[in-house]
A and B are shown apart, each in its own frame.
Chain A
Amino acid sequence: MSKIISIHSFRGGTGKSNTSANLACLMALEGKRVGVVDTDIQSPGIHVLFGLEPEAMRHSLNDYLWGLCDIEEAAHDVSSHVGITSGPGRVFLIPSSIKAGEIARIIREGYDVGLLNDGFQRLIEELELDVLIIDTHPGVGEETLLSIAISDALIIVMRPDQQDYQGTGVTVEIGRKLNVPQMVLLVNKTPEAFDFSEVKARVESTFGAPVVAVVPHSDEMMVLASQGVFVVKNPNHHIAGLYRGVARALLE
Chain B
Amino acid sequence: VVASNFEQVRAELEAAVPVRGVSPSLLLELNDPLRKTLKSLLRSGSMTLAELATSLGIDGEETLAVADLMVRAGFVRHEAIDADGSPVVRIVHAKQATRPDSAAAYWSQILNEG
Residues of A within 8 A of B (CB): 100-101, 103-104, 107-115, 117-118, 121, 142-143, 145-146, 148-150, 174, 177-179
Contacts and interface: CB of A to CB of B under 8 A. Distances in A.
A108 B98 contact: yes
A108 B111 contact: no
Contact of B95 (A112, A121, A148): A112
A107 B95 CA distance: 13
20 contacts: A101-B111, A104-B104, A104-B110, A107-B99, A107-B107, A108-B98, A108-B107, A112-B95, A114-B91, A114-B93, A117-B43, A117-B93, A143-B24, A145-B23, A148-B24, A149-B42, A150-B43, A178-B28, A178-B35, A179-B39
A121 B45 CA distance: 10
Interface of B: 21, 23-25, 27-28, 35-36, 39, 42-43, 45, 91, 93-99, 103-104, 107-108, 110-111, 114
A54 B81 CA distance: 45
A146 B39 CA distance: 9
Contacts of B103: 107
B25, B96, B97, B114 interface centre (most CB from chain A within 10 Å): B96
Contacts of A121: 43, 45
B109 to A, nearest CB: 10
B104 A107 contact: yes
Q: Which 3 A-B pairs have the closest CB atoms?
A: A114-B93, A145-B24, A104-B107
A179 B93 contact: no
Contacts of B97: 110, 142
Contacts of A118: 45
A150 B98 contact: no
B27 A178 contact: yes
